[in-house]
Structure 1
Amino acid sequence: MWVFLVLCIAILSLSYPASALSPAQEYLLEGSYALEQDGWTLVHLEGVPYRMGFQRGYLTAESASYLIISYLGPADDEYRRMSREIAEKHLWDRIPKEYQDELRGIAAGLRAKGYDWDVWDVLAANAWADQGLYEEALEEDAESRCSAFIATGDATVDGQIVMGHNTWCPYNEDFMYTIIYEVRPSKGFAFRYQGAGGTIWSGQDWYVNETGLMVTETSLENDATDPKGIPVFVRIRTAVQYADSIDDFLEIMLEGNNGAYPNQWLIGDAKTGEIASLQLGLHSWDLERTFNGFLYSSNHPSGDSFREEAACGEPDPMNYCYARYVRWGQLKEEWYGKVDAEIGKMMLADH
């Protein structure tokens, strides 16, 4: 509660009364909207990158401000200063122009709504998963805290793909991730994702695009990184926007991989019924694909190649990530062939 109060005070100190929109700004908002339902906010965005960015910044300004303060700290905080410097000097040139334009638009939308943030704040908040590559002072011990599964074929009730994900975070940290974005870009495929205000990627990593590609993940631990690579938030956003198959997804995620935020990605293609698991390190990865099966993830690396690169020892039965991995195997055996959305919810609740 105290954290929430501090965030509110900090955000109020960084906002000012929003002025009336100009005709040009009103034009930028055309076609976009935000709807509240059951504790979620559905935000529809469309158009060229800068326009979608302005829509995102304006329609999700309060949530975006919470995100920036929560991840970067107040204006005079040293962590925020370093994060902004990393964003400007190390990350900006590794981002495609279309996403640069979108980030600029977000900052403009925030200002139009009355918040005093700039593009470096917006980029730094989006790039939280990549920043540790560039400044040791920014590195923190990762807390593994997600569970996910994807099932298809003879593992599910009707043969279609069922995917589920559960993020474990204190409510005073990730309470702003209650937005479902519906994005129709001028290039690429339309897609939806769960996110916070001002984010061009999920961060919670839950995506579905109009071709039937669906993606989720749980994080892994690996120290191998390449600061010259493409930021992970850029690669996953590109993959969701431009991939229409598992092969496309793999190509985009592997090209220019910087090793940041190592994950076990679970991917499904509703067109074919195929699902896949990609345990992605820096130079090594493990891939499993099937049209009939149940794949699961609990922050425990099971792939031989990833484990070798990450120098993993023997699994510790007392480690809760490994214990959840074992439990997933039991749930798979118990519910194989019966998986649907309701069974998926029950399995995640068990976990």
Structure 2
Amino acid sequence: MSVKKLNKIYLAGVIALVFIISGLNVAAQSIPLNTKASPESETFSSAELAIIYSPDGKGYKQEIIPGKYLMHLEGSPYEMGYQQGYLGPTSVSRLANEDWFKHVVLNLLEAPDWILLIVMSDIMDYDRLKGEVGDVVDDATLRQLSAKWYDNLDSLLDKLFALCKVLVEVNSQYVPQDFLDEIQGVADGCSDAGYPISYEDVLLLNMGMDAMLALAYPVVEPLLFWIDLFGFLSCSGFVAQEDATTSGQTIMGHHWQFTEYILHEEMLVMEFVPNSGNKIISTSCPGFVGGTAFMNDQGIAISQDMVPARDCDPAHFGLGTLLTARYVAQFTNQLSEAINFIKYNERGCPWIYTIGDGRNGETGGVMLETSEHYCKERDLDYRPPWYAFWYKQIEKKDDLVTCTNHYLYYDMNGWADSTAIDDSKDRYEWLTNEALDVYGDIDLEVGAELIDYLHPPSYEYYDDPNGPVGASITCWDLTNLEAKVLYGHYNDQWVYVSL
């Protein structure tokens, strides 16, 4: 075949390609996030994968591989919220309601109903509530919502739900207006898509966990010495860099093991491209303006672990952990900025934040152990003092730190009145020992395997290798801005994303 003929064929192919591309209702720049399935997955043509758009044409929900989705949100806070609600209305309506809230409480406090009735009665005791939240909730409301002798478990859950709504409204004063506008957008977009939902319900979804835990922890924590009441306190995290990793990069992993109820069916990758602040990605569900697993384009990642402690203030818990993580991802560029935002803002519910930084001169990581009055940094080279022999920190490398659901900073358990439950200590040992086994070989692939250390049937922690993932398992390469995510079911394919 002549060169001339080849050129004609090539030109015809180029022209055809141009027409195909122009026929798609999306410009190349509108899909800034690189997504793909794990290497062992099949490949699919664009015609086989679905994509839908928000009414403004800027937001979209795209099928990455069959059953796995990316939601792209772009614009002002209200615009991004509206896009999220419009593109994911079933998720919003399933999560931002009383049914999901009650399910979370009952699964969090895993015990026979008669024990739960006693615990809930103590949580909703009038005298206790008067002392805890009486400065922000009027007495008539407290008397109406406090426990009565004739209450059953369901009526007490109704009262807890109502009280948390009040406390969330009070604490919304600490939330940046941008996030409140975005929450309003979620409610409006969801409602316009045919699933009526209120602003207050979406606000509760994003802040209610802190209200509920800050109310419950002071009652539940003293009981943990005798009985493990927590059913899914199974979060884990690590940060590794320098000699711990293959090329000195910063690798961070986090397993947010929450209830699988609804979450495993609605989880997806979310990309935020706001008018102000950093571009960020999250593994989350529509309805959440905040979240549990964020990475931004500056190499900062943040996630959080629950930690039962009595040092709480349910009346003044601030903007809550989910919106705190969102703020850090969107508006901080270095590790110190992330730490200082959490340290110097209102807090009232204990959390352990895993924060990593892979760029911008402050590479490293920290487990930020917080409660109402305390905020301590357990960084990569932290060592407890010699006399604190009862604090069994296993990792003794200068470039590796791990955590589960108990404090390890010197005397933080004493300061915050916290009990390290056996389940958390076991998982800490398993994760840390596995991390030490792969020390020096950690990259994105090895890090993903590491943070998935509870993958069934490992340690006989979960029974079903095909069972649902409670929330999400994520590993980030914060130097190269890549991530690997598992959600849905344990036998599903991992999804790769990059900024």
Shorter-chain TM-score: what band? 0.7 to 0.9
* 1:243-273 deviation line (CA, Å, top 9, x unaligned): 0001110111122232325224232233443
What is the distance in 2 between the residues matched to 1:305 and 1:269?
A: 29
What residue is the counterpart of 2:309 in the other structure? 222
1:307 equivalent to 2:396? Answer no
Using the alignment, how far apart are the partners of 2:349 and 2:413 within structure 1? 16
1:37 aligns with 2:126: no
Q: 1:27 to 1:220 in 2, by over 3 A?
A: closer
Give runs of aligned pairs for residues 149-160 of structure 1, distance below 5 A. 149-160=238-249
Q: Which residue number corresponds to residue 471 of structure 2? A: none
**1: CA distance, partners of 2:54 / 2:243:** 50
Instruction: State whether residues 211 and 317 of structure 2, in contact with CA within 8 Å, keep that contact through their aligned partners in structure 1.
Output: no
1:325 corresponds to which of 404, 428, 431: 428
1:57 aligns with 2:85: yes
3-state SS of paired residue (1:35)? strand
**SS of 2:261's equivalent?**
helix
1:120–1:134 distance in 2 versus 1, CA, 3 Å: farther
Alpha carbons of structure 1 residues 94 and 326: separation in structure 2 relative to 1, 3 Å: same
In 2: Cα distance, 1:301 partner to 1:290 partner: 15
* Alpha-carbon shift at residue 73 of structure 1 (Å): 5.8
Q: Is the 8 A contact 2:316 2:348 kept in 1?
A: no
Matches of 2:239 and 2:60 in 1, distance apart?
A: 31
Aligned partner of 1:71 in structure 2 is 100
On the 8 A contact 2:351/2:370 being kept in 1, the answer is yes
Alpha-carbon shift at residue 64 of structure 1 (Å): 1.0
Secondary structure of 1:161 counterpart: strand
CA distance in 2, matches of 1:285, 1:65: 35
What does residue 168 of structure 2 align with?
87
- For residues 168-247 of structure 1, the aligned pairs below 5 Å read 168-202=257-291, 205-226=292-313, 227-232=315-320, 233-247=322-336
Structure-2 separation of matches of 1:254 and 1:113: 39
Aligned to 1:255: 344
Distance 1:128 1:173, change over 3 A: farther
1:340 to 434, 443, 450: 443
Structure-2 change in CA distance of 1:284 and 1:92 (3 Å):
closer
Task: Return closer, same or farther for 1:245/1:196 CA change in 2, 3 Å cut-off.
Answer: same
Q: Which of 287, 304, 311 is the matching residue for 2:377?
A: 287
| Corresponding residue of 1:144 | 233
Change in CA separation of 1:330 and 1:268 when aligned onto 2, cut-off 3 Å: same
The CA distance in 2 between the partners of 1:127 and 1:312, in whole Å, is 22
TM score, norm. by length of structure 2: 0.58
> 1:148 is paired with a residue of what secondary structure?
strand
SS of the aligned residue for 2:400 comes to strand
Alignment partners' CA distance in 2, 1:321 and 1:177: 27
Q: How many residues align?
A: 319
1:29-66 per-position Cα deviation (integer Å, ceiling 9, x unaligned)? 33111112243321111111111111111011111111
Residue number among 274, 278, 290 corresponding to 2:364 in the alignment: 274
Contact 1:28 1:51 survives alignment (8 Å): no
- In structure 2, what is the equivalent of residue 265 of structure 1? 354
Contact kept, 8 Å, 1:189 with 1:211, in 2: the verdict is yes
Structure 2 unmatched runs, 5+? 1-52, 104-154, 221-228, 382-397, 455-499
CA deviation map 1:9-42 (0-9, x unaligned) = xxxxxxxxxxxxxxxxx99633111112243321
Q: How far apart, in 1, do the equivalents of 2:443 and 2:54 lie?
A: 43
In 2: Cα distance, 1:200 partner to 1:169 partner:
17
Distance 1:183 1:280, change over 3 A: same
Deviation at 1:173, TM superposition (A): 4.8
| Secondary structure in structure 2 of the residue aligned to 1:160 | strand
Tell me the secondary structure at the aligned position of residue 44 of structure 1: strand
Contact in 2 for aligned 1:54/1:108 (Cα 8 Å): yes
Counterpart-to-counterpart distance in 2, 1:135 and 1:325 = 27
Give 2:405's aligned amino acid.
N
Unaligned runs of at least 5 residues, structure 1:
1-25
Q: Say what the alpha-carbon RMSD is for the aligned residues.
A: 2.9
Over alpha carbons, which structure has the higher Rg? 2
Q: Write the distance in 1 (CA, Å) between the matches of 2:453 and 2:380.
A: 25
Aligned equivalents of 1:225, 1:169: Cα separation in 2:
21
Q: Distance in 2 between matches of 1:128 and 1:174?
A: 16
Q: CA distance change for structure 1 residues 246 and 100 in 2, over 3 Å: closer, same or farther?
A: same
Q: 1:28 to 1:92 in 2, by over 3 A?
A: farther
The verdict on how the C-alpha distance between 1:219 and 1:268 changes in structure 2, with shifts beyond 3 A counting, is farther
TM-score under structure 1 length normalisation: 0.81
The sequence identity of aligned pairs, in percent, is 21
Q: Provide closer, same or farther for how the CA distance between residues 189 and 28 of structure 1 changes in structure 2, counting only shifts above 3 A.
A: farther
| Preserved CA contact (<8 Å) 1:219 1:264 | no
Read off the aligned partner of 1:67 and give its amino acid letter: L
